[in-house]
Structure 1
Amino acid sequence: MVVPPSRKAVLSLYACTLRTAKSFSSYNFRNYFVRRTKETFRGMQTEQDPNKLSQAYNDAVKELSVLRRSAVVNQLYGGWRLAVEEQSDVRTRGDT
């Protein structure tokens, strides 16, 4: 018999994954991974089978380690900011 992860463990993993997803410097990657994280954990929330829940939890733990490494690389080589992102440090025509 498989013991499913506790609610606290799942919520903690969700918070860590969401925090890591939000740390991407690239707008497109950041939004994609935040959306994907929310979808993944919504699926885990509705899962009733303890075996499937444990498997999904273990997969999410593995994905978190990959996501952390990817976020570090993205922060190193992030690139330019996009027009849709807030650019508070950029001067506008009225500031001159």
Structure 2
Amino acid sequence: MSAAAEVRSLFRAFLRAGKHYPNYNIREYIQRRAREGFHDAAKLTDPSAVKSLLELGRQELEVVKRQSLVYGLYGRKFKNVLELDLPQVQPAGKPPAAASL
């Protein structure tokens, strides 16, 4: 597999691993850090630097996967306020929208 294909595969794996976190904040943090890290590393042209970053990325991916499992076992079992399905509330002073027939 070429280096570019390995990088894409590793990037996708990070994004997929981030989706397994039950907590919105941690999930978004993992995915944001992956995007930022890969964006910053895209400027590298030295093959040895790319190879060392790929190895570091693989190690970090294993940590993310392991922590996802641990967090799933011991983390909070309820959603935070950003993930709740709350009913829409009308702003004060505005009449409800009339249903058009």
Smaller-chain TM-score range? Answer: 0.7 to 0.9
Aligned runs of 1:15-94 on 2, under 5 Å?
15-79=12-76, 80-85=78-83, 87-88=84-85, 92=87
- Quick check: which one's helix share is greater? 1
Partner of 2:91: none
TM-score for the superposition, normalised by structure 1: 0.79
Q: Which runs of 4+ in 1 moved over 3 A?
A: none
Cα deviation 1:4-58 (Å, max 9, x = unaligned): x521111111111110011101111111111111111112211112121111111
| Equivalent-residue separation in structure 2 for 1:83 and 1:22 (angstroms) | 18
The percent identity for this pair of structures is 29
Work out which of the two has the higher radius of gyration on C-alpha atoms and give 1 or 2: 2
Q: Is there any run of 5+ residues in structure 1 with no aligned partner, and where? A: none
| Equivalent-residue separation in structure 1 for 2:29 and 2:49 (angstroms) | 24
Aligned residues: 87
Cα RMSD (Å)? 1.9
Q: Is there any run of 5+ residues in structure 2 with no aligned partner, and where? A: 88-101
